[in-house]
Amino acid sequence: MSIKLHKPGYEQALKLITGGLEVIPDAGNWDEVQPTENEVVVYLDTHSLKEYGLWFLGIDTSKPENDPARYVYPYGDLKVVHECALIIAEEDAMDNNLEDIEQAAGVLLDMIEQDDE
């Protein structure tokens, strides 16, 4: 399969969560809080594609290296981590038999849950 775990994105998520960056609890509203197309354009105007990719757990190697659509399974809104994004990533990865992404999302969700205790 052409989608695999994007290790730099996963490692960045680990750092953000363990470093105490704000994590928005699950409100089940990822559709409402995910970055808009305009927000993505503005972000890419001020950041590299590599930096953009750090906000994703997956990478689609069938897409060109200079295509932002190469990055899949977001875990945040380009500013903070969203628990609802991780829940969706974990469920979607499970549905698509992407065990490495499913497990990565599960680890991150467990870390967030432990921080809440």
What one-character-per-residue DSSP string does 10-55 give? Answer: HHHHHHHHHTT--EEPP-S-HHHHSPPHHHHHHHHHHS-HHHHHTT
Q: How far is CA 26 from CA 48, 49, 71, in A?
A: 29, 27, 22
pTM: 0.93
pLDDT at residue 1, rounded to an integer: 64
Q: What is the pLDDT of residue 84?
A: 94
Instruction: Tell how strand 81-82 and strand 23-24 pair up.
Output: parallel
Q: What is the pLDDT of residue 116?
A: 60
List the pLDDT tens digit at each of the 117 positions of the chain.
Answer: 699 999 999 999 999 999 887 788 877 888 999 999 999 999 999 999 999 999 999 999 999 999 999 999 999 999 999 999 999 999 999 999 999 999 999 999 999 988 665
Which pLDDT belongs to residue 36?
94
Question: What is the C-alpha to C-alpha distance for residues 81 and 83, in angstroms, rounded to an integer?
Answer: 7
| Per-residue tokens: 88 | 């969706």
